[in-house]
Structures are given as C-alpha cells and as structure tokens.
Structure 1
Amino acid sequence: MKKLLLLVTLLLCINCGVVMASSPDIAVAVVHGQFAAELSCEDELTVRVPNTGEEIVLKPDRYFVNAEGGTVNLGAQKFGSQTLRFTVKENGKPIEVNKKAYRGSFEVRIAADGKTLDVVNVLPLEQYLYSVVGEEIPVIFPDEAIKAQVVAARSLAYNRLGNRSRLGYDLKASEEGQDYYGLATEKQAINKLVDVTAGMIVTYNGQPIEAVYHQSGGGQTENSSDVWGRYVPYLRSVKDYDWDAPMYNWEKALPASEIERRLSTRGYAVGKLESIRLSPLEGSSKMFGNDRTASGRVQEMIFSGSGGTFLFTGQQVQEILGLNSTFFEVEVNRPVPNSIEIPIENPYGIEIGRKEVPIKVSERSISFKDILKDLHFVSGEKGEMVTFKGRGQGTGLGLSQWGARGMANNAPSRSRDYYKEILTHYYTNTRVEKIY
C-alpha cells in the first residue's frame, strides 16, 4: 500500500510540473551598486554574520553601512567580505532602508563590482506581491482584473527565482516592469486578493512562464519576436480589450528643433532635420510597410537631416522622444494662414498699396503626402510641429492591464475565477495552476 501511495505521489508531481509545499522566499535588491545606505528600526536589530556565527544586538536607532575600502562596514566596524544579516523579533517593527519600511529581513554584502553595496530584502514571495501589485494596478479595478495582475506578477517573480543566486538576489527593486517599494505601496484590499490566489501561477508545459505585462495594447498585443527578437510560444499577438484605457489613443507634438536636440544628446548628430520616413498606420485591414510589425507597431524608422541619415528601432524612438508605445504614425503639420497680403501695383509696376486676400485650402489638393505616404518632409519653419499619433502604452507584450479590466467588466454573469480566462487569453496555450 505504501508503495502504491508513493507511486501516485510521484505521478502527481510529474503531472503538476513545479510543486512546492509553501511560499518561497524572494531576495530583492532594494539598494544596488551604491556606496552607502541607512538602516533603522524602532525595535532592536539583530545583526548576524552567517559565516562566523557572530551576533550583535543594536538598540532602536539609525545605522549606516558602507563599502569603504571594498569591505562591508557597519559604522566604523569593518567585516571584510562577510555578509551581514539584519533581523527583528517576530511581529516586531519593520526595518527601514533609506527611510522606506519593508517586511522581512535584510542582507548587506559587497556588490559584484567589489566596490559598492547591495542591500537585499529577503521576504516571502506573497508579501513581496503586496507591494508590487499595490503599486502596479488601481485598487478600483475589478477584482478579477486585479487577480490576473497578481498571478502574472507572481509568475514572473517565480520564473526569476534563483537565476542570480551567485549575486545574492533574485530581482532588483525596479526591473522587469515590477516596482517594489515596501510597505508604502501596500493596499489592504489588494493584499486580500493576493492571499486569495496564493500559490497560483501561469505555466506553459508545466513550467512557470515569463509573464511580462504592460498597461495598454491599443487594441492588439505584440509578438515576442518583434520586441525581444526571440520567439516565446505563449507571448503571441492577441486582441486587446483596452478600449477604455486613457492611452488607447494619444498624441505628442514636438517641434523639429526639440527632436534634433534629443537625438543630438544621444549622440546622433542629425543636424537640421529634413525628413522622417515611416509608413502610415492605416488599420489592421491593410498591409503595413516592412518598417512595421504584423500588428502595426514601428519596427524601424529613418530620420534624415543636414548631418546625416540615421536608422532607429521603434523602441529607440519611443525611449528618446518619450512616447507611450511603438504603436504610432507621424504627421508634419504646418500652420496655414487665414489670409495673405499681396501688393497692389499701378500699370507701371509701382506698388500703390496692399490688399489682404483670404486663403481657402481645397480638400482636393494633392501634396507630397498623397504621393509619398512614407516620407514626411520637415522644413523647421515657425509653428511647424511633428506629431506622433499612437495607441496603447508599454511594450504590448503579454497581459494588458486595461485589457484585463475590459474583459473583467464584460465577464459572463456568475462566472467564477474569471481571472484564469483573462490570463489564458493574453498568454497563449497556458494553464493557471496552484503550485503551493
């Protein structure tokens, strides 16, 4: 009978993929590559040196750690290359690092560069999510949309566990699109939804996925190969239900001089901007140019000026010009005067006065824009603006937060655990399962 039970247990483990008994801890570098940091607590702090077993009890106060001389130093006391572990008693006051309060304990060690410090917060993964999701999504969103965000954030963090063990942490506090600020961003209503979904993650072939997410896809999410240059089977372009998103449609207008300045500060001496080449974004029913992805996002575009011609990726343009996404098109708008002053001459060609004549712009007039739809000429004249008209916000990869909201708001009546439907829509051919 015991052998039968053991066989059944092994088969269950194989079928489940990743199985754990309880929530794992996650190590988050809240200070990375800095020379010094401040730690404080309203309770006694216990400092341990794991390698030597040494233990120091500090009274409630502020303390400074630094990396002077390439060693871990607590005030004037030097600990060489040892790691210091700071803990408080169970249910004690939280430890603060640089005036931010956190759950869990801390480890202070020399960073990989051998010259600066890493201060690493070690805490249960579920408690890490309290802060991340509290910062990431509005508490007024529907519960099922928030649950989808929780499970996506948990899956992404779980996917990263152990990947940087040689560095002493799993994630930095602000990377992977997940910002971690400790207790300051926790919200009780969201904490409850984290607890309700405890242990639930998204898997593909039994393994936790790289569950990246973004704010709004502008009606269509993106394929991983068009953003990362690598194929990920569950990060495929799907319909986005983000029509209520504030950035579903957006515009940003810049004068040519500002574009020239921003390119120049990044080392691209385009000089006086003369033209921008980018095919039009005319809707999903028409064929895009080779400079766009299948969904219509900008893959590459060209800026030409007196200083030369430069080819940029859509991501580069988004970052340099501060755009919301790569899902955009370009227009060059010049102010058209309402009237023009013309001279009045006598039969001998001598000006005897001036007359103001109104200007009527015909809608049927043909311009270069009609003939060369991918080439936008820039003159730099006064009042001219280069306008970027786009959709969505973020990379367009994976879960759309506003799309999740749209799906949740339109969920079938009496549907249960609809967050799973949301997740398997945005992460293709995946499953949502409990692993602890």
Structure 2
Amino acid sequence: MRKKWKYYIDRMLTFALIGILLPLFVTIICQRMRLEEVIYGTYDAMTEAAEREGGEELEEQLPLILAKEIRADAEDAALKAQCVIARTTLYDAAARGEEQPAAFSEEELRQALGETYEKTMERLETCVEETSGQVLSWNGGYAYAAYHAISAGSTRDMSRSAEAAVPYLPAVECPADLTAEGTLSVIYCEETDILKRCGEHFAEADVSAVSEIQVTERDAAGYVQQVMLGEYVCTGEAFREAMGWNSACFTITQMGENVRIVTRGLGHGYGLSQNEARAMAQEGTSYEEILQYFFPGTTLVTADQIK
C-alpha cells in the first residue's frame, strides 16, 4: 500500500515539474531562436517593436477616421466595410510615408455628437475590434480602397482606365442610389460666376462664354470624362471640383443670362457607394460580401500578411 502511494506521489511530482519547467523550456527555445536571428543579422528588435507599436497606434486612430468618413448611424455591416476601407488606406499611407486619412479630433467629435458621444465611440470601437486588423489586398499589396457617398446609379469602371487601370474596380449597379436623398442636385447660377471660377482654376483657358464649355466625353455611368474650355482640355473630375459641384455626372444648360447645372450622385463614383452599402446591409448582406461586391478579386487579409 505504501509503495502504491509512493508511486502516485512520484507521478504527481513529475507532472508538477513538467508544468513548471515546460513554459521555461519554451521560453529558452524562443530566446535561443531570437538570439540566432540577432547573431546572423536577420532580427531587428527595433523594427519589430516599431511595427507592433505603430500598428496599435494606427488602430487607435481608426474610430475617429471612421466617424469622419461615414455616418455613425450606418448599419453594422456598412460600418465594418468602411472600417476595412479606412484601415487599408491608413496602413498603406503609413507604409508609404504619405498623408494619412483625415480624422476628427476627440474634442471635435464630442462637440458634434454631444450626449451620444460615448455610445457612438463604443460602437465605432466595436467595429474596429470586430474587423480585427483586416485590410483589402491585391497581388499581395494594399488595394486602392476608393469610396464615395452616392453613385449616379452605377459605380464608375476603373478596370480599363487609360490613366490608371485598376482591375478590381469595375462598374457595379447601385439601384438604391437612383432614389437616394441628395443624389439629384439642381443649381442655377449666373454665367459670370462660372466664367470667374474658370479664370481662377484654369488660367490657361481663355473662355468668355459658357457656350465655349463643352463636354466631349462621358463614361458608361454618365460621368464626364473630358471637358473642353475653348481649346483647353481638362478632366470632368477636375472641372467639377473647381466648380464645387457634387459630382462629375453633370449637365450644363444655358438659360439666357443664367445657367442650370444638374448633377447626379455625390462624390467621384469610384469604388464603394456608401448609400448602396447601407441598402445591402439592411437586406442582411455581410460586410465581407459588400466588400467583394464593390472590390471583386481583392482578398480580405490581416495587415501583417501584406508584403
């Protein structure tokens, strides 16, 4: 009987020692591997620490960027899709050393939201956590994660663009955008106002009448690709930005001394339409499915998988 008890005690002591020493052995092995990396020049402790801390710092910025880019009352799936877009752009900019996406300061957001600030921030932070470092990838790098508020009924095709072909940005239908609030804008202004802006933004153009402004090319979605200002050529996007219009999907009609401008959509029209994404989310579409609809061919990965 005494031998049996001694056997059980010995086994318990053995298991206890294994439980104590195993983590130590694992730590020693990991440290040994790290030491070999240092010796052979393949490990950079400063780089690893910077990447870890930099990633954490970038993640902390995301709720304030997200609040700047999309309405905080958007459906969860739409918010998460926009969060992945924001993270992709943020990490890509950080990697390239370029200007990062605009964000609210905490004070600005607190003033804008008032009593709903805490609840909204909690929701935004949850979206950041639940997308867990995910970004859109193309060919192993960061994808160009374009977005806009409302399309003109279809997003613009950038897959065969002569300026910069982006294969994963084809035209996709956005039926909800056709009847969205704010999609149609009708402006009346004096001819002199348009001519003044032309002089300010396109000094090379010598335009003395609106009749000299001609739309010469549109894409399949109806957006203006090219405008002639007399003999001067500019893109539709550059022209609408100079004029301060909602979209490059515009028409100009002269009515005596006044001019009528009609625009459809809100924003440049490339990539994800936030309004259509919200409509899809309301129908139960997941954020992963929303992203694949607008960015077909891209892969949803974590940032540490980017080359």
Report the TM-score when normalising by structure 2.
0.70
Q: Report the CA distance between 1:228 and its aligned residue.
A: 8.1
Q: Residues 261-272 of structure 1: matches in 2 within 5 Å?
A: 261-266=196-201, 267-268=203-204, 270-272=206-208
Does residue 218 of structure 1 match 2:152? yes
Match of residue 16 from structure 1? none
Amino acid at match of 1:180: A
Query: 1:218, 1:163 → 2: CA distance?
Result: 32
Match of residue 330 from structure 1? 252
Query: 1:253, 1:218 → 2: CA distance?
Result: 20
Q: Which consecutive residues of structure 2, in runs of 5 or more, have no partner in the other structure?
A: 1-47, 111-120
Match of residue 288 from structure 2? 420
Structure 2 CA distance for partners of 1:25 and 1:197, relative to 1, 3 Å: same
Match of residue 229 from structure 2? 303
Q: Report the CA distance between 1:179 and its aligned residue.
A: 1.2
- Among 149, 164, 167, the alignment partner of 1:233 is 167
Structure 2 CA distance for partners of 1:275 and 1:312, relative to 1, 3 Å: same
**1:126–1:198 Cα contact (<8 Å) kept:** no
Moved more, 418-427 or 390-399: 390-399
Task: Tell me the alpha carbon deviations over residues 62-120 of structure 1, each in whole angstroms, 9 at most, x when there is no partner.
Answer: xxxxxxxxxxxxxxxxxxxxxxxxxxxxxxxxxxxxxxxxxxxxxxxxxxxxxxxxxxx
Does residue 160 of structure 1 match 2:78? no
Match of residue 392 from structure 1? 265
Query: 1:271, 1:331 → 2: CA distance?
Result: 16
Does residue 171 of structure 1 match 2:113? no
Q: Residues 32-51 of structure 1: matches in 2 within 5 Å?
A: none
Q: Report the CA distance between 1:323 and its aligned residue.
A: 0.9
Query: 1:295, 1:327 → 2: CA distance?
Result: 8
**1:234–1:427 Cα contact (<8 Å) kept:** yes
Q: Report the CA distance between 1:238 and its aligned residue.
A: 1.4
Q: Report the CA distance between 1:251 and its aligned residue.
A: 1.9
Match of residue 17 from structure 2? none
Task: Tell me the alpha carbon deviations over residues 291-337 of structure 1, each in whole angstroms, 9 at most, x when there is no partner.
Answer: 11232211112234xxxx43332122112211111111122224xxx
Amino acid at match of 1:333: M
Q: Residues 107-118 of structure 1: matches in 2 within 5 Å?
A: none
Does residue 313 of structure 1 match 2:251? no
Amino acid at match of 1:431: T
Q: Which consecutive residues of structure 1, in runs of 5 or more, have no partner in the other structure?
A: 1-19, 27-121, 165-169, 173-177, 280-289, 335-383
Query: 2:105, 2:53 → 1: CA distance?
Result: 15
Structure 2 CA distance for partners of 1:303 and 1:316, relative to 1, 3 Å: same
Report the TM-score when normalising by structure 1.
0.51
Amino acid at match of 1:299: Q
Q: Report the CA distance between 1:277 and its aligned residue.
A: 5.1
Amino acid at match of 1:149: Q
- Among 264, 280, 287, the alignment partner of 1:407 is 280
Does residue 273 of structure 1 match 2:201? no
Amino acid at match of 1:422: I
- Among 103, 120, 124, the alignment partner of 2:57 is 124
Does residue 252 of structure 1 match 2:175? no
Q: Report the CA distance between 1:398 and its aligned residue.
A: 1.1
DSSP 3-state at the match of 1:239: coil
Amino acid at match of 1:181: F
Match of residue 137 from structure 1? 70
Q: Report the CA distance between 1:410 and its aligned residue.
A: 2.2
Q: Which has the higher contact order (CA 8 A, sep 6+)?
A: 2
Over the residues paired in the alignment, what is the CA RMSD in angstroms? 2.8
Query: 2:207, 2:139 → 1: CA distance?
Result: 52
Query: 1:21, 1:242 → 2: CA distance?
Result: 45
**1:276–1:301 Cα contact (<8 Å) kept:** no
Query: 2:59, 2:275 → 1: CA distance?
Result: 23
Structure 2 CA distance for partners of 1:274 and 1:421, relative to 1, 3 Å: closer
Amino acid at match of 2:243: L
**2:158–2:165 Cα contact (<8 Å) kept:** yes
**2:195–2:210 Cα contact (<8 Å) kept:** no
Structure 2 CA distance for partners of 1:408 and 1:24, relative to 1, 3 Å: farther
Match of residue 205 from structure 1? 139
Q: Report the CA distance between 1:24 and its aligned residue.
A: 4.6
Q: Report the CA distance between 1:273 and its aligned residue.
A: 0.7
Structure 2 CA distance for partners of 1:294 and 1:158, relative to 1, 3 Å: same
Amino acid at match of 1:426: F
DSSP 3-state at the match of 2:211: strand
Structure 2 CA distance for partners of 1:277 and 1:254, relative to 1, 3 Å: same
Q: Which has the higher helix share?
A: 2
Q: Residues 97-108 of structure 1: matches in 2 within 5 Å?
A: none
DSSP 3-state at the match of 1:160: helix
Query: 2:300, 2:179 → 1: CA distance?
Result: 26
Q: Report the CA distance between 1:431 and its aligned residue.
A: 2.5
Structure 2 CA distance for partners of 1:204 and 1:269, relative to 1, 3 Å: closer
Q: Which has the higher strand share?
A: 1
Query: 2:51, 2:239 → 1: CA distance?
Result: 41
Q: Report the CA distance between 1:435 and its aligned residue.
A: 4.8
**1:297–1:327 Cα contact (<8 Å) kept:** yes
